[in-house]
Structure 1
Amino acid sequence: MVLSTVLKTAILALAIVYGEAKATVDDQIVFLESSNSSLLRYPTQFTQNIVPKSIHSHNDYWRDVPLLTALSYGVGSVEADVWLDNGTLFVGHEPAALTPNRTFASLYVQPLLAILAGQNPRNAFTTNQTTPNGVWDTSSGTPLQLLVDIKTDGAATLPFVLKALEPLRSEGYLTTYANGILTTSAVTVVGTGNSPLEPIKALEPRDYFYDAPLTQLTDPSLNTTFDVNLSPLASTDYETAVGWTGIGGISDAQRANVTKFINDAHSLGIKARFWDTPGWPIQARNDVWQELLNDGADWLNADDLEAASQF
């Protein structure tokens, strides 16, 4: 007769109570797990054992479960395309993909608020804690990067994005530049797409940053001195800036472009990202990823998060 797990657990519990247990470590594990013991729970275990990785979840909202899927793989940067319509920010790749309930608030702001509340319990142990924990249990000081790709008019949309971020702001969860000091927090928000440069430069304090043009960081026509206080990130279209498909060897000129753009960013304290990297053939994709990492790129732009996380 085969005893059920529940019955075996009950017998083991009685044996422990009466001092007659000859339990192995596996028996003890079964007992504790089945008893739902408080010894096995702690407040910040939401991302338990997940190591954060420098991967950017391209078009994150396309995934079956936005944000959470990325976090499950340790992905450190996610991207939301936002569209302003009648005062609401909807998330999707194009107008035909928008739905009433898939909003910036519902897919990103509110979930992050709930996750961070769990990572920042308020009790006697945290009374003197001054810096919020981030989403990562294994690295609480590492911020999650949230790219907001504005698809509608940038100047008109920006105020609504800033307003939507208020719940995170009020809890002190946003990385902020104020009074000449950059204070890193749980979430670093970076505007891309149609995000307007001049209004972002004028923000004081600033908790919405600008995705700088990686190939134009020293371009005087932009009338901007880029640094980490304005642009913690600089990006460019890989196909346009580099062009190597991953098939055959990369040319010296192509590699020189990659390293120049990365070095330009690093000299300003800015991290570099190349988007629109090849997705297929898989070996070509992997070779491009490896080349970029070897050359010092900071973020691996990925559609296949599982593959990137195991790379």
Structure 2
Amino acid sequence: MEINKRRFSVFNSLLIAGFLTVFPLGNLSAQQAVLIHSHNDYRQRVPFYQAYSQQLYSIEADVYAVEETGELLVAHDPEELGTASTLDELYIEPILSLYKRNNGRPWKNSDNRLQLLIELKTPEKPTLDCLVSKLNKYPEVFDPAVNPAAVRIVITGNCPSPSDFSKYPSYIYFDGQIGVDYTPEQLERVGIISDAFGRYSVWNGKGAMIAPEKKLVANVIEKVHALGKPIRFWGAPDGITAWNTFHNMGVDIINTDKPEACSDFFHNFESKNFSIISDTLNLSEEVTRTDRLDKTTAGFRGFGKKNRMLTKPVEIYTPTYLNDGTEKPIKNVILLIGDGMGLAQICAAQTVNKGLSFLQCKYVGLQQTNAKDQYTTDSAGAGSSIATGQSNCNRYISMSEDGEVYPSLSEVLASDGFACGVVTLGNIADATPAAFYGHATERDNTDEITDWLLKGTLTLLNGSGMNVLTKRKDSRNLVEELRPQYNITTTIDDINELKGKVICIDERMGQATTEESLSLLADATHAAIDKLKETNEKGFFLMVEGAKVDYAGHANSLPGSVMETLSFDKAVAEAMKFADSNGETLVIVTADHETGGLTLVDGDRESGHITARYMTDDHTPIMVPVFAYGPGASHFCGIYPNTEIFHKILNSIKQIH
């Protein structure tokens, strides 16, 4: 991660220079870790307050001195002076009021700093003298010698000669220029260095800068950083691609006329970036949570520092393709569902890991995820539609609106003599796994759902959530009622140590994936395959869910999404390995829906770094891919509703039964 190392070295130099004394090093999720400048702020619909509400670091005001009145008017051009407001009205008075309200700080309960960049449109004298006279009245707000949290004042435009810097109060800093040979004393008074982007590039912010121009810009950044100063480009492209490019290149202060949009892009920025890194010290301790989960998963603790740490790639399995796409008989079916895993989530994980096992599949289709009653589905509607071949309404678990039970693949195949298993890296009573063994008109009715386990349909059920079996509204302990049919354990290590049917409630499976637990779902999948193949010679059906790609989408955590997708991919690899060794197994990989509306902003194939953002914290109705491997895989190509997966699986198996 050369980009990050360069960025952190810049932050270090700025810390030494006293510029970022309150910003936590390397914590990109902190509001001001990415410094944003509201250019020509007075032209915003609500000057000052729009930028202030976003906790932007820097705000710009252009001023003209009116000698007759001793006032400073804020305007861009002289023609605007007739209707212009004063600097006091637009900036000084609001700042004074807020400092009083916030106990001498720009923001309550925050150490973030505020910079006021004042461009002198009229000559230094008397403009700067007038400004100093105004600011001198409030040392507790503008002088860091009096208040360390004081507003930082930087002068640009008609600045005095560097030799005259010392004639002004020490709290006044100046906007430096490239190529000026400052003395050490003069350099101490340089607050930032601004330059015109158009001097180096004609890039308009779309696509990428051409290499020669990018090199020129990089050289300028390097020169400024060598002086220990932050750099800002004015007249630069102003949009997501440009902001991200400048940030990655080490531009310290992002210049924008769109303060709210720019702030939104950089907000919680650590959760919008991911790569394999060896140095994890600079990761923040912040936990990304969501309140968008349902009853069974509402206690999920979120994605913290350990869920953003990956020090090496996950091994990619290369299949043999020996039976792939053939019309040979199918004995076993393994259906793997990445909950919330859309194409963008797949692409992000592929970029970071430089490949995925399930992307080795040659047979690919698209499934439409819509629920029966809504264009955008939830996991109940989509999971049930895949499980039963019947279009289901949102929140219904494999059941019609009238209470008619829709038999699931597990129930249909178990009645035909197949061993059936459900494995989830989440709660066993959550919507997707529940759709493959239970029925209910409301996904939160976990008592009703888990009562269906008493039917004994499944040979194996594995996931987290012992509480849904023991802490029920009816005060029953379902574990005791299940014991005559099932051996119950709390670790996947026991799945094949116990004879007969097994319910394994391993609470590790409900926790966010870390590098140490990346293999947990794969290990559970391997154990499930061994269990099912030994239980029944006729064949088996296994559904495996990567549950927490969905959680990451709800939490808008790109690192969480990548880690959960990589965990899911390792489980797919186990299925593909078995299919290759067995020769009679069909593997299907898909999702129930996409979560978060994830969009990839940019990335680096060489380093594996990816930047992406979410447009919602909910599900989206976009189609999701279907990957198939093994005999019968070709039948899963094309575009079809999610209900067709059920029928395609049954038709594939019925070819030999």
TM-score by length of 1: 0.68
CA contact (8 A) 1:212 1:231 kept: yes
CA contact (8 A) 2:106 2:149 kept: no
Question: Aligned match of 2:249 in 280, 291, 295?
Answer: 295
- The answer to whether the aligner puts 1:253 opposite 2:223 as a matched pair is no
Mapped to 2, the partners of 1:66 and 1:308 lie a distance apart of 16
Q: What residue in structure 2 maps to residue 64 of structure 1?
A: 45
CA contact (8 A) 1:83 1:150 kept: yes
Question: Aligned match of 1:83 in 57, 61, 64?
Answer: 64
Judged with a 3 Å threshold, the aligned counterparts in structure 2 of structure 1 residues 199 and 146 are, in CA distance, closer, same or farther, namely: farther
Q: What residue in structure 2 maps to residue 103 of structure 1?
A: 86
Mapped to 1, the partners of 2:130 and 2:63 lie a distance apart of 10
CA contact (8 A) 1:57 1:305 kept: yes
Give matches, 1:22-41, under 5 Å.
none
Judged with a 3 Å threshold, the aligned counterparts in structure 2 of structure 1 residues 247 and 63 are, in CA distance, closer, same or farther, namely: closer
Post-superposition Cα deviations, 1:82-134, rounded to whole Å, max 9, x if no partner, equal 000122111111122224671111111111111101111xxxxxxxxxxxx42
Mapped to 1, the partners of 2:145 and 2:159 lie a distance apart of 17
Q: What residue in structure 2 maps to residue 271 of structure 1?
A: 230
Mapped to 2, the partners of 1:193 and 1:110 lie a distance apart of 23
- The answer to whether the aligner puts 1:136 opposite 2:97 as a matched pair is no
CA contact (8 A) 2:96 2:141 kept: no
Secondary structure of residue in 2 paired with 1:310: helix
- The answer to whether the aligner puts 1:207 opposite 2:188 as a matched pair is no
Mapped to 1, the partners of 2:92 and 2:233 lie a distance apart of 26
Secondary structure of residue in 2 paired with 1:257: helix
Question: Aligned match of 1:115 in 88, 93, 98?
Answer: 98
Q: What residue in structure 1 maps to residue 9 of structure 2?
A: none
Mapped to 2, the partners of 1:225 and 1:114 lie a distance apart of 36
Q: What residue in structure 1 maps to residue 149 of structure 2?
A: 185
- Give 1:168 deviation, angstroms: 2.6
Q: What residue in structure 1 maps to residue 196 of structure 2?
A: 237
Q: Which is higher, the Rg of structure 1 or of structure 2? A: 2
Q: What residue in structure 1 maps to residue 117 of structure 2?
A: 147
CA contact (8 A) 1:155 1:195 kept: no
Secondary structure of residue in 2 paired with 1:93: coil
CA contact (8 A) 2:155 2:173 kept: yes
Q: Which runs of no fewer than 5 residues in structure 2 stay unpaired?
A: 1-29, 266-657
CA contact (8 A) 1:174 1:207 kept: yes
- Give 1:248 deviation, angstroms: 4.2
Q: Which sits farther off after the overlay, 62-71 or 203-212? A: 203-212
Q: Which amino acid aligns with 2:202?
A: G
Mapped to 1, the partners of 2:98 and 2:234 lie a distance apart of 28
- Give 1:277 deviation, angstroms: 1.2
TM-score by length of 2: 0.33
- Give 1:138 deviation, angstroms: 4.5
Question: Aligned match of 1:158 in 128, 131, 138?
Answer: 128
Q: Which sits farther off after the overlay, 183-192 or 95-104? A: 95-104
Mapped to 1, the partners of 2:166 and 2:193 lie a distance apart of 19
Judged with a 3 Å threshold, the aligned counterparts in structure 2 of structure 1 residues 54 and 200 are, in CA distance, closer, same or farther, namely: farther
Q: Which amino acid aligns with 1:310?
A: D
Secondary structure of residue in 2 paired with 1:250: coil
- Give 1:156 deviation, angstroms: 2.5
Q: Which amino acid aligns with 1:195?
A: C
Matched residue pairs, number?
Answer: 233
Q: Which runs of no fewer than 5 residues in structure 1 stay unpaired?
A: 1-49, 121-132, 178-182, 280-284
Q: Which amino acid aligns with 2:105?
A: G
Secondary structure of residue in 2 paired with 1:269: coil
Mapped to 2, the partners of 1:277 and 1:89 lie a distance apart of 28
Post-superposition Cα deviations, 1:116-171, rounded to whole Å, max 9, x if no partner, equal 01111xxxxxxxxxxxx42123422x3201001000011321110101112332x2
Q: Which amino acid aligns with 1:210?
A: F
Mapped to 2, the partners of 1:102 and 1:196 lie a distance apart of 25
CA contact (8 A) 2:142 2:171 kept: no
Post-superposition Cα deviations, 1:22-55, rounded to whole Å, max 9, x if no partner, equal xxxxxxxxxxxxxxxxxxxxxxxxxxxx944511
Mapped to 1, the partners of 2:245 and 2:76 lie a distance apart of 29
Judged with a 3 Å threshold, the aligned counterparts in structure 2 of structure 1 residues 206 and 119 are, in CA distance, closer, same or farther, namely: same
Secondary structure of residue in 1 paired with 2:46: coil
Q: Which sits farther off after the overlay, 227-236 or 66-75? A: 227-236
